């Protein structure tokens, strides 16, 4: 064991660990989620610390020997080492100071080791004086959040694009499958299953664009603002350099915010991102529920599509198969919507020059991005790819629907069409049969008008064939 101290006193730290006294206090203080800090966030903060060390070396303030050791330690964390050295709960008091100091301690103790010194020799390399040079938790934590959100967003938008591409393929595969369109859950007019798939693809891509657009402000950082945005203890050259260094380290463009005080005390950018996730979640829920409805039955429901069977559906009803993949996407998206409320509360509850609720904002936002990414990937891989159309059943519903009367309206008039629809509802007879019985149209004429290709495209169904017809 080694002894470390802060101004609150002395604590014993196991020799093998790289964190120190402030991390241990956080572990003792905060037992909220039972989880650890998000691995992507750890990597993101290591990137921020690497950029800060490089910028401080450029100003001449950080000795090169120490700076290079800190950069090497940061690189090791970025490459996946020492992930077990970040034990603190992600929801914590202190605006994220525990996470920041945890990172500083690990960096310093590993840097000491690299230079051949013993862990805990903070008189040589200090978590506060060296790893945290020109910084505060109040600029490193939100900047690390932004880096993390951008990193996670690439996986999420990639997943959404894959989903859209699979929907495109299904749109092509099902382009000739005519089915009933429905409004108010009632029969409307025919549409192709391909057109429905294409509409889902369009909506998913809109969600992707919405998320991408929400991230624009995430590239503006408050590094160099230090405690309250005034830049105290950060040299002007450092402030100019650190954003450029972070851009180089991450491969994404980062820029110093025009108003560092604003960028330090306001966290509305995270509400923007969460809002984009929430609205996209609403789109995904609607789509997933459409699939559940289309697959309902199979004997006593719509049975228009066949979802791949992924598990037995009941512990008591033999042979039952449930739409579990659509259901799990719904639930993942519900969680995103719930998280959005927490994020909004956190953003709202900042006071004066700092929002101390950043840990809970980060926790929920990171979870939202992960849940949506995994939910989308699951839906694409386990439902969409093996989705089948039940063309026979789709045709049956079209043929037995009263909704097709809408296609006949321009040729027989609204009043006649309405009376025909009423009779069809009352008698249960097909619209086609009643029209022919009343000799409102000939078999050839009605055959053309009710041709699926005529009913599922813009224009008057059968217009050319019916030229000169008057009702």
For the annotated catalytic residues, the residue numbers are 314
Q: What is the dihedral of CA 327, 328, 330, 333, to 10 degrees?
A: 180
d(CA 469, CA 362): 66
Cβ neighbours, 10 Å, residue 194 = 21
d(CA 443, CA 166): 40
The candidate with the shortest Cα–Cα distance to 361, out of 148, 71, 164, 193, is 148
d(CA 140, CA 223): 6
Q: Which residues of 327-362 are buried (b: 16+ CB within 10 A; e: fewer)?
A: ebbbebbebbbebbebbbebbeebeeebbbbbbbbb
Contact (CB, 8 A) for 406 and 326? no
Residue 351: DSSP 8-state: B
Asked if the peptide bond before residue 345 counts as cis, ω within 30 degrees of 0, the response is no
In the block, residue with structure tokens 């004429």: 445
d(CA 368, CA 465): 55
305 forms beta bridges with 389
Contact (CB, 8 A) for 449 and 420? no
End-to-end CA gap in the chain: 97
178 forms beta bridges with 192
Q: Can you spell out the DSSP letters for 273-286? A: HHHHHHHHHHHHHH
137-173 helix and 193-214 helix, angle to the nearest 10 degrees: 170
Contact (CB, 8 A) for 297 and 303? yes
Long-range CB pairs of 415-419 (<8 Å, 24+ gap) are 416/440, 416/471
């Amino acid at each position: 064991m080694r002894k470390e101290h802060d101004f609150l006193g002395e604590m014993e730290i196991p020799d093998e660990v790289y964190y120190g006294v402030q991390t241990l206090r956080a572990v003792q203080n905060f037992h909220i989620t039972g989880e650890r800090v998000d691995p992507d966030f750890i990597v993101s903060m290591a990137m921020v610390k690497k950029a800060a060390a490089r910028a401080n070396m450029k100003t001449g303030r950080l000795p090169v020997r120490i700076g290079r050791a800190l950069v090497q330690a940061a690189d090791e964390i970025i490459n996946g080492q020492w992930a077990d050295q970040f034990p603190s709960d992600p929801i914590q008091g202190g605006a994220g100071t525990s996470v920041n100091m945890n990172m500083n301690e690990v960096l310093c103790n590993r840097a000491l080791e690299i230079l051949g010194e013993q862990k805990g020799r903070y008189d040589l390399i200090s978590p506060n004086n060296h790893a945290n040079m020109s910084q505060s938790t109040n600029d490193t934590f939100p900047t690390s959040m932004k880096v993390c959100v951008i990193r996670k967003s690439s996986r999420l938008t990639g997943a959404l694009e894959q989903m859209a591409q699979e929907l495109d393929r299904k749109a092509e595969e099902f382009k000739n499958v005519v089915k009933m369109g429905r409004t108010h859950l009632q029969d409307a007019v025919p549409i192709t299953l391909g057109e429905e798939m294409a509409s889902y693809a369009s909506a998913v891509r809109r969600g992707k664009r919405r998320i991408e657009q929400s991230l624009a402000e995430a590239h503006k950082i408050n590094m160099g603002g230090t405690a309250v945005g005034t830049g105290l203890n950060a040299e002007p050259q450092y402030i100019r350099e650190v954003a450029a260094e972070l851009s180089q380290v991450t491969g994404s463009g980062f820029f110093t915010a025009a108003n560092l005080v604003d960028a330090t005390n306001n966290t509305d950018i995270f509400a923007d991102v969460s809002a984009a996730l929430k609205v996209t979640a609403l789109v995904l829920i609607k789509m997933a529920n459409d699939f559940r409805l289309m697959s309902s039955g199979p004997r006593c429901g719509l049975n228009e599509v066949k979802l791949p069977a992924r598990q037995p559906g009941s512990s008591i009803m033999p042979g039952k198969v449930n739409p579990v993949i659509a259901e799990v996407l719904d639930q993942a998206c519900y969680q995103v919507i719930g998280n959005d409320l927490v994020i909004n509360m956190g953003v709202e509850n900042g006071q004066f020059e700092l929002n101390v609720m950043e840990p809970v904002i980060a926790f929920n936002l990171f979870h939202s991005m992960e849940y949506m990414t995994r939910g989308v990937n699951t839906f694409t891989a386990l439902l969409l790819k093996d989705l089948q159309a039940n063309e026979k059943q789709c045709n049956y519903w079209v043929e037995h629907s009263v909704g097709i009367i809408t296609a006949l309206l321009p040729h027989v008039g609204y009043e006649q069409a309405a009376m025909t629809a009423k009779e069809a509802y009352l008698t249960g007879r097909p619209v086609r049969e009643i029209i022919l019985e009343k000799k409102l149209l000939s078999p050839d004429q009605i055959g053309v008008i009710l041709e699926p290709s005529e009913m599922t495209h813009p224009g008057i169904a059968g217009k050319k064939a019916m030229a000169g017809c008057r009702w």
